[in-house]
Amino acid sequence: MDDVKDKVIAILNDLTGEDFSDNLDENLYDSALLDSMGTVQLLLELQDELGISAPVSEFDRNEWDTPAKIIAKVEEMKQ
């Protein structure tokens, strides 16, 4: 499932301008790297690139706040 990981990191890199490969537990909201706009873009990109459809209400900030958690969520939803 490394494919998912690479894609999510690439999407996040696109959105925030930061590389999270070595920083998977950084909190995206506390550091203000992601806001509501970024979040929606993230959901749309995940939909386009990985084919998972996560509705906006699925998005609980506490469960999606680090790259590692996002990757775990996406992998769970792909199955």
Partner 1 sequence: MRWYIPYGNPTYFIWLALAIVPLMIGLLYGRRFRGYQTIISLFFLILTFGGPNWRTGIALIGYLAYQVILVAVYSKYRQRKASPNKGWPFVLAVILAIVPLVIVKVTPAIESGRQSIIGFLGISYITFKVVQTIMETRDGIIKEFHPVLFGQFLLFFPTISSGPIDRYRRFLADYDSVPKRADYLNLIQTGVRYVFTGFVYKFILAYIFGTVLMPGIEQRAILAHGFSWNIVAYMYVYSLDLFFDFAGYSLFAVGISYLMGIKTPMNFNQPFKSKNIKDFWNRWHMTLSFWFRDYIFMRLVFFFMKHKVFKSRVTTANVCYVINMLIMGFWHGETWFYITYGLFHGCALVINDTWLRYKKKHQDVIPHNRFTEWFAIFLTFNVVCFSFLIFSGFLNTLFFGPSKF
2 or 60: whose CB is closer to partner 1?
Answer: 60
Any idea what DSSP says for residue 53? -
Site string for partner 1, 2-41 (x = CB under 8 A): ----------------------------------xx-xxx
Residue 18 main-chain phi, psi, to 5 deg: -120, 150
CA distances (Å), 39 to each of 6, 10, 45, 79, in order? Answer: 18, 15, 10, 22
Please tell me the count of residues contacting partner 1 according to CB under 8 A. Answer: 12
Are 31 and 21 within 8 A, CB to CB? no
- Give CA 79 to chain center in angstroms: 17
Q: Report in angstroms how near the CB of residue 12 gets to partner 1 at its nearest.
A: 16
Q: Report in angstroms how near the CB of residue 2 gets to partner 1 at its nearest.
A: 28
Chain residues binding partner 1 by CB under 8 A are 36-37, 39-41, 43-44, 55-59
